[in-house]
Amino acid sequence: MYKKIIVPMALDHGVGNKGMDIAKGLRSAGGEIIAFHALEPIPRAVRHYISAQQTQETEDRAKAVLEERIANMENARAVVLSGHAGWAITELAENIGADCIVISSHKPGLQHLLLGSTAARVVRHANCAVHVVR
């Protein structure tokens, strides 16, 4: 079983139960689940139109959604970081010493064949176990 499991959640696609349920089943006694959301970087062309306050409010809302989702879960916490999802997930896993990532994959296009682009990037670059949920 795993002691530190990251469950990335794309909040714009809804917050699913499957990944969290799988993580709960894979977590060892006393293990921790990290519900994670990556805020995609704001494009340079529009960055100066968005205030620091708006950026902070977006981050706070994302964290509130994650915290609501894990409110009744033991040994769980919410993390929101800025960055491209695939890279942010693998970087977080490395930085906190995660030993498992449970990631959902949408129906991909032909360019990704079997996995969505974020899931494929995580599978290729993570230094820990990755469980992909379809």
Higher-confidence residue of 118 and 78: namely 78
Please name every residue paired with 104 in a beta bridge, in sequence order, or none if there are none.
133
Q: Is residue 55 part of a domain?
A: yes
Query: Do the domain assignments include residue 112?
Result: no
- Mapped onto helix, strand or coil, the DSSP state of residue 128 is coil
Predicted confidence (pLDDT) per residue in 61-112, tens digit: 999 999 998 999 999 999 999 999 999 999 999 999 999 999 988 665 554 4
Task: Specify the CATH number for the domain of residue 54.
Answer: 3.40.50.620
Whether 118 is in a domain gets the answer: no
Q: Over the chain, what is the mean pLDDT? A: 89
In a domain, 100, yes or no: yes
| pLDDT, mean of residues 14-41 | 90
pLDDT of residue 112: 47
Domain membership flag for residue 116: no
Whose structure tokens read 């139960």? 17
**Residue ranges with strand state E in 1-134:** 2-8, 27-39, 76-82, 100-104, 129-133
61 belongs to a structural domain = yes
Q: Is residue 113 a contact partner of residue 84, using CB atoms and an 8 Å limit?
A: no
Residue 109's pLDDT is: 53
| Count of structural domains, the chain | 1
Q: Which amino acid is at 124?
A: R
Q: Examine residue 46 and state whether it is found in any structural domain, yes or no.
A: yes
Element (H, E) at 52: helix 52-69
Query: Considering the domain boundaries, does residue 113 fall inside one?
Result: no
Helix (H, G, I), strand (E, B) or coil at 81: strand
DSSP state of 49: T
User: In which domain, by residue range, is 42 found?
Assistant: 2-107+124-133
pLDDT, one tens digit per residue, over 18-29 is 899 999 999 999
Give the 3-state secondary structure of residue 134: coil
pTM over 0.85: yes
Q: Is 98 within 8 Å of 6 (Cβ atoms)? A: yes
